């Protein structure tokens, strides 16, 4: 077989076209507004979108096994709200403990969803729709018509301002994002669990026959998603310095959109960590750039929606062209 040239390899991969989209976007914006590419601005964008970027990793796994999870922001609110109230009432003072509690709550939420989907054979969209109501309700019950503001959170909110995890150079929140991406990159590429996820997503039946416990993989993936949602609950509380029961409501759609823009297939089996990262970055850049290039605040959602549709349509068109090219090569 003839070896693919480097050029073909680059133009043939989905991530490459996304990188080009991202670069063109950034270039266009910085022509209009040079301050956009300042280091401070970039770090600020990354910090404010840390929650979406981390949850995109979990959603990547969920979409890879052919599922979907629209309850994530409800689990996030439940975990974040609980931690916020614990700090407000002075039950805990340790930042680290706050993160552990949020992650434990998130994992528990995800585990229950996983049980219903994997063992109860319920369609993911329905199961997670039910839990979207339930966990959001829990968040409101925990809040008990109160909320935790900046002064109530005390030392916890300083986590997002300091950079002791990044040796004083990189913000704590960014360190967590980077660590998550490194772990997931390694996990999805080189571990048995990661490859099992791809196997289940490509063909669950074949995976089952070849000895993979499909139900167990599904359970693990939804628990992992819950764990990340819990982590993001704590992160959201520190980044925005407040805990409210309605926090991040409807943002699950942004997470799904980030994955889909990044080329993750909704029917499972196709997608990568790099794609999820690029998708989340493109969304973040668009959201930040629209006011900078002078688009009216009222029109921003419309433009965002149109761009999402345009990108996914573009994805389909390039996929069709790639398939056609492959077919032509085979015929020769």
Partner 1 sequence: MAGKSGRTIDATPKDVWKKNILSWEGMLVILFLLINIFCRCISPNYTVANVLREMPKYLSEIFLLFPMAYILMLGEIDISVGSTVCLSATIACIASNAGIPFPIVIVLTILTGAICGMVNGCILVKFPELPSMIVTLGTQIVFRGIAEIILGSGGSVSVTNTAGFRAIAGKIGPFPYIFFLVLISGVVFIVISMKTMFGRSLYAIGSNSRTSFYSGIKVKKVKFIVFTLMGVFAAIAALFLTSSLYGANTTTGNGFEMDAIAMAVFGGIATTGGKGRLIGGLISAFIIICLRIGLGQINMNPQVILIILGALLICAVLLPNISSGLKLKKKS
Q: Which residues bind partner 1 (CB under 8 A)?
A: 68, 116, 120-123, 125-127, 129-134, 136-138, 140-141, 253, 256-257, 260, 266-267, 298-306, 308-309, 312-313, 316, 319-320
Sign for the pseudo-dihedral over CA of 258, 157, 151, 234: positive
Give the number of other CB atoms < 10 A from CB of residue 59: 31
d(CA 188, CA 201): 13
Cβ density class 129-146: b for 16+ within 10 Å, e for less: eebbebbbebbbebbeeb
**Residue 155: CB minimum distance to partner 1, A:** 30
In this complex, which beta carbon is closest to partner 1, that of residue 186 or of residue 309? 309
- Kindly state the smallest distance separating residue 243's Cβ from partner 1, in Å: 16
H/E stretch holding 303: helix 300-331
- The residue among 16 and 314 lying less far from partner 1, judged by its C-beta, is 314
Residues 206, 91 contacting (CB under 8 angstroms): no
The residue among 126 and 186 lying less far from partner 1, judged by its C-beta, is: 126
| CB closer to partner 1 out of 112 and 180 | 112
In the complex with partner 1, which residue's Cβ is closer, 174 or 259?
Answer: 259
Whole-Å CA distances, 214 to 30, 198, 209, 284: 47, 11, 10, 34
The least CB distance from residue 227 to partner 1, in Å, is: 21
> Which of 148/257 has CB closer to partner 1?
257
Question: In the bound complex, what is the minimum distance in angstroms from residue 326's beta carbon to partner 1?
Answer: 16
Nearest approach in angstroms of CB 103 to partner 1 is 23
CB of 158 to partner 1, least distance (A): 31
Please state the φ and ψ torsions of residue 166, each to the nearest 5 degrees.
-95, 30
CB of 125: closest distance to partner 1 in angstroms? Answer: 6
What does 205-272 look like in DSSP terms, one character per residue?
A: HHHHHTT--HHHHHHHHHHHHHHHHHHHHHHHHHHHT-B-TTTTTTTHHHHHHHHHHTT--TTSS---
Whole-number minimum distance, CB 212 to partner 1, in Å? 21
SS (H, E, C) 33-94: CHHHHCHHHHHHHHHHCHHHHHHHHHHHHHHHCCCCCCCHHHHHHHHHHHHHHHHHCCCCCC
Q: Which is nearer to partner 1, 98 or 268 (CB)?
A: 268
Nearer to partner 1, 132 or 199 (CB): 132
């Amino acid at each position: 077989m003839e070896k693919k040239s480097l050029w073909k390899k680059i133009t043939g991969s989905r991530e490459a076209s996304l990188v080009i989209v991202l670069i063109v976007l950034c270039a266009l914006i910085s022509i209009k507004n040079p301050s956009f590419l300042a280091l401070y601005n970039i770090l600020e964008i990354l910090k404010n979108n840390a929650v979406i970027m981390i949850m995109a990793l979990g959603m990547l796994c969920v979409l890879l096994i052919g599922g979907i999870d629209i309850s994530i922001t409800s689990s996030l609110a439940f975990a974040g709200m609980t931690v916020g109230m614990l700090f407000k009432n002075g039950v805990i003072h340790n930042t680290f403990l706050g993160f552990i509690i949020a992650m434990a709550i998130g994992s528990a939420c995800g585990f229950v969803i996983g049980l219903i989907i994997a063992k109860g054979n319920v369609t993911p969209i329905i199961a997670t729709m039910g839990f979207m109501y339930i966990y959001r309700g829990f968040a409101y019950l925990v809040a008990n018509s109160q909320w935790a503001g900046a002064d109530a959170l005390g030392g916890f909110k300083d986590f997002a301002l300091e950079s002791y995890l990044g040796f004083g150079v990189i913000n704590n929140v960014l360190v967590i994002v980077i660590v998550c991406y490194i772990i997931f990159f390694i996990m999805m590429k080189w571990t048995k669990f990661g490859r099992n996820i791809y196997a289940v997503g490509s063909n669950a039946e074949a995976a089952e026959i070849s000895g993979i416990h499909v139900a167990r993989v599904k359970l693990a993936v939804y628990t992992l998603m819950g764990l990340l949602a819990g982590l993001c609950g704590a992160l959201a509380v520190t980044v925005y310095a407040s805990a409210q029961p309605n926090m991040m409501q409807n943002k699950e759609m942004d997470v799904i959109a980030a994955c889909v823009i990044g080329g993750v297939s909704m029917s499972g089996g196709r997608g990568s960590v790099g794609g999820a990262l690029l998708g989340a970055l493109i969304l973040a850049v668009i959201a930040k750039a629209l006011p900078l290039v002078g688009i009216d605040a009222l029109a921003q959602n419309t433009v965002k929606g149109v761009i999402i549709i345009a990108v996914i349509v573009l994805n389909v068109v390039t996929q069709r062209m790639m398939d056609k090219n492959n077919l032509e090569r085979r015929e020769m």
